[in-house]
């Protein structure tokens, strides 16, 4: 099947490695027709709307938010927010600042652990006015070519002993901001939550959409896609999909997961 849709894409306006221009070029070369740039805590890419108009692509405004619910991190996608809305801009800028603070403290913890990683090393992997995240830190650590990376779990996995969570964007507040500003809220990659009870609780309580078609790694991909599509239909909610493309730091390919055209009808309804 030929895929023409990818609604989960990151650029170097967050923790992706590719520029917006390169993403647009790859999307065009790969035959995509509908895309969404969903950078973490940022819609800054959409200030380059004139650049986007140079390509034969239908671009749906999007963003991915790092939220906290039931003592765990939950990622939330939003589609249709107006990037020029000053309230949205201020909200996202605040989140970028707070997430960068968490990243800075994480680097300090890594230094105390004995790895001579500097904050400048990390900033060299990020752009200006982005939410600096663990993705940037991991990218910077790759330059050290460490043979022993066993400490990664402790620092970068939410279950790790030295992991520092970001808790200043409660899920309920994020939902309220999205809905009150005309956006559609979609629970991102539910299979990575590893708790379907939480997924269903969120669907019942908040009525979010569900990201069904996702570039999961490993043998469970088809099984999870089928399960979450059934779940979305059972709850009568919209569903979406995308590759979660980040450039060279991830295995996913831009447009690498099939997303049916019915998704666009639901997003644009």
80, 185: one domain: yes
182, 236: one domain: yes
Residue 1 has pLDDT above 90, yes or no: no
Separation of CA 40 from chain center:
5
Rounded Cα–Cα distance for residues 181 and 80 (Å): 9
In the chain, where do the E strands start and end?
Answer: 5-9, 34-37, 58-59, 62-69, 72-79, 184-187, 209-214, 239-242
In this prediction the pTM is 0.96
Q: Give the pLDDT score at 75.
A: 98
Which residue, of 156, 188, 204, is where some domain finishes? 156
Residue 162 has pLDDT above 90, yes or no: yes
Task: Determine what percent of the chain is predicted with pLDDT higher than 90.
Answer: 97
- 205-233 mean pLDDT: 97
Rounded Cα–Cα distance for residues 239 and 1 (Å): 19
Chain-wide mean pLDDT for the chain? 97
53, 132: one domain: no
* CA within 13 Å, CB half, 29: 8
CATH number for 178 = 3.20.20.140
| 104-154: pLDDT as tens digits | 999 999 999 999 999 999 999 999 999 999 999 999 999 999 999 999 999
What's the domain range around 15? 5-91+167-268
Token look-up 């707070």 returns 98
Q: What confidence category does residue 180 fall into, taking pLDDT thresholds of 50, 70 and 90? A: very high
Residues 174, 65: contact at Cβ < 8 Å? yes
Q: Is residue 221 part of a domain?
A: yes
260, 176: one domain: yes
């Amino acid at each position: 099947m030929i895929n023409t849709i990818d609604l989960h894409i990151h650029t170097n306006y967050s923790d992706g490695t590719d520029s917006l221009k390169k993403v647009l070029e790859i999307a065009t070369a790969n035959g995509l027709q509908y895309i969404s740039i969903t950078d973490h805590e940022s819609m800054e890419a959409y200030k380059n709307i004139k650049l986007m108009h140079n390509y034969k692509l239908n671009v749906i405004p999007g963003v991915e938010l790092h939220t906290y619910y039931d003592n765990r991190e939950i990622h939330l996608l939003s589609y249709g927010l107006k990037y020029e809305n000053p309230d949205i801009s201020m909200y996202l800028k605040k989140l970028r600042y707070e997430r960068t603070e968490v990243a800075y403290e994480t680097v300090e913890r890594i230094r105390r652990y004995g790895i001579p990683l500097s904050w400048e090393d990390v900033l060299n992997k990020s752009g200006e006015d982005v939410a600096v995240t663990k993705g940037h830190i991991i990218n910077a650590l790759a330059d050290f070519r460490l043979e022993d990376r066993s400490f990664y779990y402790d620092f970068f996995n939410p279950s790790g002993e030295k992991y520092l969570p970001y808790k200043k964007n409660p899920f309920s507040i994020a939902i309220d901001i999205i809905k009150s500003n005309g956006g559609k809220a979609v629970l991102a990659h539910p299979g990575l939550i590893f708790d379907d009870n939480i997924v269903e609780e969120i669907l019942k309580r908040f009525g979010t959409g569900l990201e069904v078609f996702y570039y999961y790694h490993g043998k469970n991909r088809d099984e999870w896609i089928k399960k979450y599509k059934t779940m979305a239909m059972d709850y009568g909610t919209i569903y979406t999909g995308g590759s979660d493309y980040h450039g060279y730091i991830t295995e996913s390919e831009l447009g690498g997961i099939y997303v049916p055209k019915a998704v666009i009808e639901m997003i644009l309804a």
